[in-house]
Every structure is written in structure tokens, then in C-alpha cells.
Chains A and B, each alone.
Chain A
Amino acid sequence: MSSIAAAVSALASLVSGECWAVVGLPGTGKTHAAQVALREWRKSFARIVIFDPYADRDRANPQAHPWAGDLVTSAALFAAPERLDRRALLVVSPDTLDARAMGRRFAAVADLCWYTGGVCLVAEEAALYGREAAGAVLRVATGGRHAGMGLVLLSQAIGRIPIDGRRCLAGIVAGTQSEPADVQALRDRTELTAPGWADKVATLRKGDPLAVWRVGVGAPSEKTS
């Protein structure tokens, strides 16, 4: 069984109004799992928007497995928001590495998606700007159903996802976490429904299958095998 099969299957179930987190150290397969699940998201959502700070660099590096789709800077999207209507799959680059500016631009992109409707918003490397965009994350995570939106937050560490967003997670796909605080953050979110799940994540190593938790379905055995 593929190490990401269970993760892809779980992510593919994303529906409007849900927020999922995909976390894990580099090389654990979190982005790959999300990229495979994207095929299913295209069936559930009219539009997919991927906010990726490294989109430019990754496209210049064949080893980086960049996200597919038409690449546009956030500024260009703000200048012509109707791009969202022409393309069903859009990769948006913040075109800055400043965390504050990145956060503001992610929040603005989330606004455009909100007013457009029917968008699955994928926040790649959310650790870089999640805190600066905590309000936008919370709004989409809690009220995305009203706008037909889904939200997927990809981050190396769960602790870098805004806490209010963490509280609204419908599911978590987790690979290795390196910090005890991150395991504790996983425990805080999942222990009530899936006792022991976070501790199993703590034992994962690179190459192990990603573990899956979803709200309301509590079972440590959800860890893929």
C-alpha cells in the first residue's frame, strides 16, 4: 500500500466548509499527498487556488515538484480578479518573502476566493504567513461553507498554524513532527476523539505512512499501514 494512499483518500473527502491541515517535516510526502488529492478536489470545487510562496522557485527546479496550474502573482490577481473565473486551477505567488506582506496577501486572496465562491484554497507553507493571516484562516475555517469554500493548510509544524484555525480543523494528515510542542498541539486537538493518536504521530519517522485524523472519527487505528 502506498505510503500516502490513506492520506490521499482522506484528503480527497474534503468538502465545502471543511478545513484540513497537512503537516510534517520536509520529505514526509505532505505536498505530494495534497497534489494527488487535488484531482478529487477539482470534482468537488469549481475552482482551486493554491497560494504558494515558493511557486516561482519551484518551477525553476524540476526536483521541487511544483504545483501545476497557471501561475500568477498576487498583485496581478488583484489587478484582474476575473482571472479566477477564467481558470479553474490557479497558483498564486505572493511574490515576496516578507512574512507580513505575505500574510496580508494571503488574506486578500482569501477574500477574493470568498467573494467568488466555490473555491478550494490551498495554503502551501502556511507556517510562513499563517499567523499574519490568522483572521482570514479563521474566517474560512469557520464559515467556509457559506462561500462554498474548503481550506487546506500545509505546514511543517502544526504549531505554526493559528490556534483558532487548529480548533476548526475537520481533519489532520500528519507526518513526523520534531518538536514536543507540536505533538502537544496535535494532542490538544485530537485527544478527545482519538486518544493516543498524537502519540502515535510522535513515533513516526520519515518514510512512515502519514497518519490521518478526522473529527468525529476517533480511532488510533486510522494510522495508515
Chain B
Amino acid sequence: MSKAKPAPPRPAAPPPAEPEKRAQAAAAALAECPSPELEETDHAAHSAHDPEPLPPALPAGGEEGPAPSAPEPESAPAPAVPLTPEEARRDCAACAELLFDLPLLAQKFASRAELKAAVSAAKESAVEAGRRLAPVLAPMLPRALPVAAAVCALVGGLLVGVLHRRLPQDKAEEAPRSE
């Protein structure tokens, strides 16, 4: 008596809803895949219990994912290509979080170069301002208040004195006009 019974046939999946569009989408996606991987890594025939050897070298990647790839080398100035949110995310690591949450921001820039320039300028100006102000302000802060009070008192006293001297004269000059 045979112990192993044949597995019951799986219920047939219903036909695809839109096979033509699916084929088109598949063809478009396939065009973006490099051909060598198609030949080398079609694992469809492998079962779950038939592991294949590891490739000789894989990029280091922990649970959070692979190490970031090196930045693309700078080349000639990019032409003014309309920027999509996806491109903006890819091209601007510094503001990735911002663009990720506000993808519409990307639409404000006409091109990738414009976005990069705007971000670089903003970043540089902020850093430069902070760099200049910080060392000047930091040591002055403890002494700033007495100095400011003394300056204010001096200026205020001068103003009061001037006004005090000018007011009677002004009144005297204005008196005939008012009459």
C-alpha cells in the first residue's frame, strides 16, 4: 500500500483581469532589467529545499539594507528636464525626508539642476551664517546685557537732553505759524 497520496490539485486561479495591459507592463519592466540576470537567475525551477550556492561576493547589507552606493560622478550640466517627485527623491539626499513627505515640493523646480542649486545654496547660506555668528555671539552673551543697558542709558540721556533743549525753541518757532 502506498503511503504517499498525491496532493490534491490546486484550484485553478482565475484568468488575469487585463492580460494585454499586464503583458505591456511586463514588457516595459523587462526592458529595464539587464539581460544577463535573466539568463543567470531564473530560479523558477528551484524548490524551497533546493538552495543554490551563494554568489561569491555580495554587497554588505544588514537588516536595514545595503550600504549606500557611491554618488554618481559629476558630468556635464544636466539639461532642463522636468523633474518628477521620484527623481527629486533620488537626486537630493539632503532633503530626502522633506521631499518624501512633501512630494509636491519637487514640482516647484523646473529641473534637477535647479533643485540641486536651490538646496545647495540654502544649505551653504545657513551653515555659513551659523558659522560666522556662533563664535561672535557665544562669548559676548554674558556681557551683552550690561553693555546694552549702558548704551541704551547713554543714548537715552542724549536724546532727552537734546529734546529738552530743542522743545522750547520749537515751540517758539511754531507759535507764530499756529496763529
Residue positions of A touching B, CB distance < 8 A: 26, 46-47, 56-57, 59-60, 66, 68-79, 81, 83-86, 88, 93, 95-100, 104-105, 108-109, 111-112, 115-118, 125, 127-128, 131-132, 134-135, 147-148, 156, 162-163
Contact = CB atoms under 8 A, between A and B. Distances in A.
Interface string B11-27: 10111111101110111
B89 A132 contact: yes
A72 B43 contact: yes
Contacts of A99: 65-66
Given A72-B42, A108-B25, A46 B14 contact: yes
Nearest to B46: A71
B65 A68 contact: no
Contacts of A96: 37
Contacts of B47: 70
Given A66-B48, A69-B48, A131-B100, A115 B43 contact: no
26 contacts: A46-B13, A47-B13, A59-B51, A59-B52, A68-B48, A69-B48, A70-B47, A73-B41, A75-B30, A75-B37, A76-B38, A76-B42, A78-B26, A79-B30, A81-B26, A83-B44, A85-B13, A97-B61, A98-B69, A104-B32, A108-B26, A117-B17, A117-B18, A132-B90, A135-B86, A156-B63
Nearest to A45: B13
B179 to A, nearest CB: 73
Contacts of A109: 29
Interface residues of B, number: 49
A72 B53 CA distance: 16
Given A59-B52, A115-B16, 19 more contacts: A59-B46, A73-B42, A75-B38, A76-B43, A79-B38, A81-B16, A83-B44, A95-B37, A98-B66, A100-B90, A111-B22, A117-B17, A127-B65, A128-B65, A128-B66, A131-B100, A132-B90, A134-B89, A148-B17
Contact of A78 (B17, B21, B33, B90): B33
A163 B100 contact: yes
B72 to A, nearest CB: 11
B63 A26 contact: yes
Given A78-B30, A83-B44, A117 B63 contact: no
A117 B33 contact: no
Contacts of A68: 48
Given A108-B29, A111-B25, A97 B43 contact: no
A118 B13 contact: yes
B28 interface: yes
B28 A115 contact: no
A78 B29 contact: yes
B5 interface: no
A70 B48 CA distance: 7
A216 B52 CA distance: 46
Interface in B125-143: none
A117 B16 contact: yes
B44 A71 contact: yes
A99 B67 CA distance: 10
A71 B38 CA distance: 14
Contacts of B8: none
Contacts of B26: 77-79, 81, 108, 112
B112 to A, nearest CB: 15
A60 B50 CA distance: 8
Contact of A117 (B11, B14, B100): B14
Nearest to A78: B30
